[in-house]
Structure 1
Amino acid sequence: MKILVPVKRVIDYNVKPRVKADGTGVDLANVKMSMNPFDEIAVEEAIRLKEKGAATEIVAVSVGPAKAAETLRTALAMGADRAILIETDEEVEPLAVAKILKAIADEEAPGLVILGKQSISDDSNQTGQMLAALMGRPQGTFANTVEVEGDAVIVKREVDGGLQTVKLTMPAIVTTDLRLNEPRYASLPNIMKAKQKPLATKTAADYGVDLAPRLKTLKVAEPPVRKAGEKVADVAALVEKVKALGIA
């Protein structure tokens, strides 16, 4: 079985994003970039499935600028077999990404597409669901556990108040949640080997996908600064404070 793993280049999760002075977006100048954390989990899960003998090949895919090749090399160093970069300098919306992934999936015929539930750059949480709809495939979102059984995949989903277990007939789409696994670090030998693994570069036009935006960002602003808390001596003082505020 082949597994397709989309990955995205985003601002490193340790970096605090800065909003542009004109409020048109996030400032990416001289900012450290890395693989979206949810996508790292997806790559790790694909590798674990291959190590268990459930998969034979892992193909990493990214849609973004030329520098997204670095993100794909990270996926290759972790254990992916080859990569495809759909190069574009435009900001690509989830629907366009889903259409590109569908076109690639039609060519590659993967048994599973495993991707992060959302990216930390826009938090859309839409691409996996849109891809499943476009392909007419079953989906298991917010995966906490993934197990392949024959021609089916068992997914435990994180839902409000607990876990829901679903059985999907492959080919299927799975989106990963934070508690699915702990991604491995790429070793230096694997980083060197990754440079020799195949990485194809294509464009959205090669797949007949129009990247014209359907949404317009009106304004980007930082959240208001939270007011400092206040310490109280004991529970009685807390109760009095709450009463004074009219909360209780």
Structure 2
Amino acid sequence: MPDVTTPYTPGTPCWIDLAAPDQKAAIDFYSELLGWRGEVGPPETGGYAVCHLNGKPVAGIMAAVAMGDQPAPPTVWTTYLASADAEASQRSVESAGGTVLMPAMDVMSLGRMFIAADPTGAVFGVWQAVDFPGAGVVNEAGALIWNELNTSDRSAASAFYRAAFGIESATLEGMEHYYALQVDGGAVGGMQPMPEHLPADTPSHWLTYFAVADPDAAVAKVTAAGGNAIVEPFDMIAGRMAVLTDPQGAVFALIRPKPME
């Protein structure tokens, strides 16, 4: 798609980032797998790395370190939803039954953000753009292409995201029990009940999908680097995909989408 240079429509996934125990190793892994370029950031940003694809920001990677008496964050990819007003979104999240885990704060002159969990326990971020809109390229090889909510309670999740962000959900033709998350009538992500292949105690979560030209070759790269395939490559209605963990345990998905008709 064209480069993204303006703020995303509120409710749309607009950014992703990863907290990893070994930040440099994570940067190297995803750079090799997806063609990114990135390096540990300066001290004033806490070392936060903004990775680029073809010169455009595509994802963030930070060190998973404990702050104060708080435990280190889990090794996960976080999906950020766009907002025009972080404080107003924070109030909406709380009134809709969500939990604010990190209150709204400034990120230099780039924007404002907060971290929350929906009523089913899925953690997500919210980003209000100022100087930084979010991902500068999506929907092409090496970039973010889809964000999917796997939830233990679809009805509760649907009601929450509708009330908090105006995100609607609708069944997808040909995909039983799978729902499109829609903003202004367009699909911006997906939602499904917790997949059967996951352990029974797996919490609700957002899953990040990256587009690749050859999922089978990419999975071979992941496993050779010390990651694992949770779901081996398979063909489905939207393309050929796989679900994996990176060498530090973060879960993500890869997909070669079918051409648009």
Q: TM-score range by the shorter chain?
A: under 0.3
Which structure: greater helix fraction?
1
Which structure: greater strand fraction?
2
Greater relative contact order (Cα 8 A, min sep 6): structure 1 or 2?
1
Q: Tell which structure's C-alpha radius of gyration is larger.
A: 1
Give TM-score, length-normalised by structure 2: 0.22
